[in-house]
Copies of this chain bind each other. A is one copy, B any other.
Amino acid sequence: MPKNVGGVPSVPFNCQNCSIRKSTICQPLGSNQLEVVETYKSGDRILPAGSLLYREGDSCSELYNLLDGWVALCRYLTSGRRLILDFVLPGGFFGYQTDLMGPMRHEAKCLTDVAVCVFPRRPFPSLLERHPPLALSLIRLQAGDKLSSDNRLTNIGARRARARVAHLLLEFYVRVHRRHPKSGGVVVDLPINQQHIADALGLTNVHVNKALRVLREEGLVSFKSCQLEILDPMRLSEIAEFPPETVLSHL
């Protein structure tokens, strides 16, 4: 089981000192407007690593802001294969889908101990309608999710294994680093194993292992026991066709 990253999840006493205020849907609200969401929200919750927030097919009455920890959104096919649609990091907003009150189209699984801020689902549209800045904020979040969906689709659909793995690891590096600009290292902790990488990329754990070995022997990147180390950012972003300036701005 992957280790937790960053210690025990912390739950804010209130929205004022919420650590993710500026990166999630609440972003447009000023300090004096936080009661808008504070009265809607149903509370915070802490879950252990490995637990599920909802399953595919469940009807789920909540929406989630991830306060701390990592969550994987995934699906299971009849073949038994698992596909990881997305990894949610702190600040991520998830659970929203077209058929708002219908069965969930994917599962949400905690990769670490997790803290979430919970909204009730049913009154959510009226919250958005009464507070246009929140609606615009959700639109922005959705557009961002769509972009990363497109990027993942591009990755799986058009690159081969070595480049696919390289691309995903670079994405992890940038996403984690964006949240910890101070820690200047090229090493970051990821609460995942090779099976997660495989399921996110449409590969097998065995082939991911072999691709990782090649990347390591080439001196490009290493991923061992939940530690990701970027060894040669420039060449790595080259073979991954990952925009180099995006990587450089995080070194």
Find out whether the CB atom of B139 lies under 8 angstroms from the CB atom of A135: yes
Please tell me how many copies of the chain the complex holds: 2
Q: In chain A, residues 60-80, which have Cβ atoms closer than 8 Å to a Cβ of chain B?
A: 75, 77-79
- Give A76's nearest chain B residue, CB to CB: B158
In whole angstroms, how far apart are the Cα atoms of A158 and B139 in the complex? Answer: 29
Contact residues in B for A144 (Cβ distance below 8 Å): 98
Q: Is A133 in the interface zone, CB < 8 Å from B?
A: yes
The verdict on A136 contacting B125 (CB below 8 Å), with A149-B150, A153-B152, A158-B202 known, is: yes
Min CB distance A163 to B, Å, is 9
Find out whether the CB atom of B140 lies under 8 angstroms from the CB atom of A98: yes
Q: Is A81 in the interface zone, CB < 8 Å from B?
A: yes
Q: Is A208 in the interface zone, CB < 8 Å from B?
A: no
Contact residues in B for A149 (Cβ distance below 8 Å): 146, 149-150, 153
Find out whether the CB atom of A135 lies under 8 angstroms from the CB atom of B128: yes
Partner of A150, one of B106, B136, B154: B106
Q: Which residues of A contact B (CB under 8 A)?
A: 75, 77-79, 81, 83, 85, 96-98, 105-106, 125, 128-130, 132-133, 135-136, 138-140, 142-147, 149-150, 152-154, 156-159, 201-202, 241
